[in-house]
Amino acid sequence: MSNETNQNSPEREPTVLDLYKSVTKDWTSFFNFIRSLWDARRRELVNRAAIEQSQLVEVETPAPALPLSESFPWRATLGLMLALIGQFVLEPPSRNTTLSLAFYLLAISFVIWGTLKDEWHLPALSLEHNRTDPLTLRSIPLFVSAICAVIALSEFNDNKFNGLNVSFWLIAILLFSYALFLRSETSSPKINFNSKNVPWLVVLLAIAGVSFFFRLYRLDAVPVEPFSDHAEKILDVFEISQGQTKIFFERNTGREALQMYWTLLVAKIFGTGFSFFSLKLGTALLGLLTLPYIYLLGKEFGNPRAGLFALFLFGIAYWPNVISRIGLRFPLYPLFVAPTLLYLIRGLRTRNRNDFLLSGLFLGLGLHGYSPFRIMPILIIAVIAIYWLHAKSREIRVQAFWWLLTIGFISLIVFLPLLGYMIENPSAFSYRALSRVGSIEQPLPAPAYQIFASNLMNGLLMFNWDDGEIWVNSMPHRPALDFVTGALFLLGIILLIVRYLRKREWRDMALLASIPILLLPSVLSLAFPAENPALNRAGGASVAAILVSALALDGFVSSFEGGKKRLVFGWGLTLMLLITSAYQNYNIVFNQFDQNFRAGAWNTSEMGKVISEFRDKYGQTDTAWVVPYPYWVDTRLPGVWAGIPNRDFALWQDQLPTSVNIQGPKMFIFWHEDSATQEILTGLYPQGKIKLYTSATAGKDFIVFLVEK
């Protein structure tokens, strides 16, 4: 069956969208609708108008190319320049909100004007297929899958993966996928590589290379030091290597397992051991795995050029770059948002059930990654609801319901290990999320609706104004986007709204709705509003935001088509914008963020070096300690640097006298302002040697107290 055929297509029934279009097409229709509320005759007229509206378009056809303005696109150019200035004056440290608002209002006016004059328009959306899902399945594999899923769930107890439960789990996933998989009725299109493909391939590889550079350059040094969360993760990874194959890691308020197993794999492949670098390399690679889906999303919402723009802007962006470098689970949120959203949108466009299977698989996997991803089912429901409201027939709406069930069931099967843990330990599974909402131990500082409204506003402003104050995974109090991407993002939002008002395209509304929904994990920090916005918990929104920027940029380039000189000028300006964006993002990550992080992090690597030197000289580390001090180092981290991930080197001040009975050379590391510890050690070991270790970072010096006999 051809995707484009309209034979036996279902008869359309009027939808809510059809009613809305028929009512708002002119003032007469609107007043007829108002009067129909009490006038039965008018109500019949309104119903007839809605039915006529539903029959206007029977088969989706490719959007015709919009006419190009014959004159120079000065409105679009001026609108973009004004927006760039408006965003530039919001760059810290000196910000001018009033001036920015004035420039942005002018920019939006010119952009809307340019859109109405066909100067600037978003890339045409891909063709929607008129396919009918047969709603068939293979009953025996489905039945066996259900049995295997029940067995796997019953075996996922005691918070452990083992050969038996994993085997039944994987069989259940494979059989369910096979039971619903639709064989393609047409052969896959062949890709012919010829001379015309070479320039495009070169550009794609070049952009991929730039992205790899931004994500891997100076990974060993940016960020330079770990903090307490890293000590927890390294210990989790170490415990897996000792046979503790947990489903959910309860240490430090609880963590999903995917990063721990991924890090162990990375450490084994690259030989990096149980180290901070293993964590960073693992998450950087996860960030790189996101990039192909960013390109495909750009193609799905636009065209291959929009995909290249999305790939470039996302690859160099400070936001996803930083959260991928930290070495924590943060990049798992955008990593799974991108494919889940891609296959969902593509499935709804092509009405291909296999895409919904893929969307559900990535949804289930994402739930094993990073807890903010738990908002993704809400986005899926919202997108399908938007599609349902715009559907042209009852049959399509019924199929959308079954597609939603397909996503739900396959994701539930993939989620089974955590479901088993959640049933056994509901409070531990939800503790971290609920502690942020405020239902556990932390009373809200104000009424919930007020905090939510304020958080939502701050979350929506993070793209262009302030990304929050969490210094360990952001450059505090600057826009989350560079000024080029930020200006394009805001203009892209305007262009999406204008196109939706003109064409009522469900994909525009879905993309617009995805942004606030993906921000919710950050916005819902009601108990700790100072933690919002947070680049890590809002990381999924970076996918949608940068995609909007790429679509806007593609539309801007399109406005210069129609003449060689115009095209050269347009591409020249675009390349300047991309280079400027890359330069600023480089500066934010490798200068500003690096310096700010070094100033805030403790120099545990230098303490680890001292412990390693002690081991090299005396052949032991059991008699080396770090004396804790308030708000100083995590005493587990020096051991990580010394290759001892499972030992806490803390010896508290009141425990220092116990060291006297221990034989052999001893070493004590303590904060240079801790005079009480120095006095105690001097009294216990008059022969001890005191040395001030001068740190490479100002203000981070510490004292080494050595007892050789």
pLDDT for the residue numbered 19: 58
Left if phi > 0, otherwise alpha if psi is -120 to 50, otherwise beta: which for 166?
Answer: alpha
What span, in angstroms and rounded, lies between the C-alpha atoms of 595 and 208? Answer: 27
> Which one-letter DSSP state was computed for residue 65?
P
Dist CA 210 CA 575 (whole Å)? 14
Q: Distance (Å, rounded) from C-alpha 1 to C-alpha 456?
A: 46
Please say whether the beta carbons of 509 and 500 come within 8 A. yes
- The closest of 15, 125, 1, 123 to 60, measured between CA atoms, is 125
Sheet containing 702-707, strands listed edge to edge, beginning at the edge strand earlier in sequence? 624-626, 666-671, 702-707, 689-693
Token pair in block for residue 459 = 């979350």
Beta strands in 447-507 (DSSP E): none
pLDDT at 441: 60
Burial code (b: 16+ CB inside 10 Å, e: under 16) for 558-589 equals bbbeeeeebeeebeebbeebbeebbebbbebb
**pTM for the structure as a whole:** 0.89
pLDDT at position 9 is 41
Instruction: Report the pLDDT value the prediction gives residue 200, as an integer from 0 to 100.
Output: 86
> How many other C-beta atoms lie within 10 A of the C-beta of residue 513?
16
- Angle between the N-to-C axes of helices 483-503 and 97-116, in degrees from 0 to 180, rounded to the nearest 10: 40
Helix (H) or strand (E) holding 624: strand 624-626
Q: How far apart are CA 691 and CA 359, in angstroms?
A: 59
Residue that is written with structure tokens 């216990």 in the block: 684
Please list the ranges in the chain whose pLDDT falls under 70.
Answer: 1-70, 185-196, 439-442
d(CA 111, CA 105) in angstroms, rounded, equals 10
User: For 151, phi and psi rounded to 5 degrees?
Assistant: -65, -45
Residue 131 has a pLDDT of 87
Residues in the chain: 709
Mark residue 309 as left, alpha or beta (left: phi above 0; alpha: psi -120 to 50; beta: remaining): alpha
Distance from chain centroid for Cα 551: 18
Alpha-carbon distances, residue 452 vs 114, 374, 535, 567 (angstroms): 36, 18, 18, 46
Residue 661, number of CB atoms within 10 A of its CB? 6
Question: What's the CA gap between 644 and 264, in Å, rounded?
Answer: 16
Domain boundaries, the chain: 16-54, 74-116, 196-600, 604-707
Task: Give the torsion through C-alpha atoms of 297, 343, 376, 410, to 10 deg.
Answer: -160
The 10 Å Cβ neighbour count of residue 683 is 11
**Long-range pairs of 28-33 with CB within 8 A, sequence gap ≥ 24:** none
Q: Which helix (H) or strand (E) holds 306?
A: helix 304-316
d(CA 165, CA 393): 43
The two tokens of residue 134 are 């047969």
Give the pLDDT confidence score for residue 4 in this predicted structure. Answer: 35
Q: What Cα–Cα distance (Å) separates residue 50 from each residue in 24, 28, 397?
A: 11, 14, 17
Peptide bond into 93 cis (omega under 30): yes
Cα separation, 548 vs 564, in Å, equals 27
CA distances from 460 to 327, 537, 541 (A): 26, 13, 10
CA dihedral of residues 508, 513, 515, 519 (deg, nearest 10)? -170
Q: Letter for the amino acid at 86?
A: G
Position 433 scores a pLDDT of: 79
In degrees rounded to 5, what are phi and psi of residue 625?
A: -140, 160
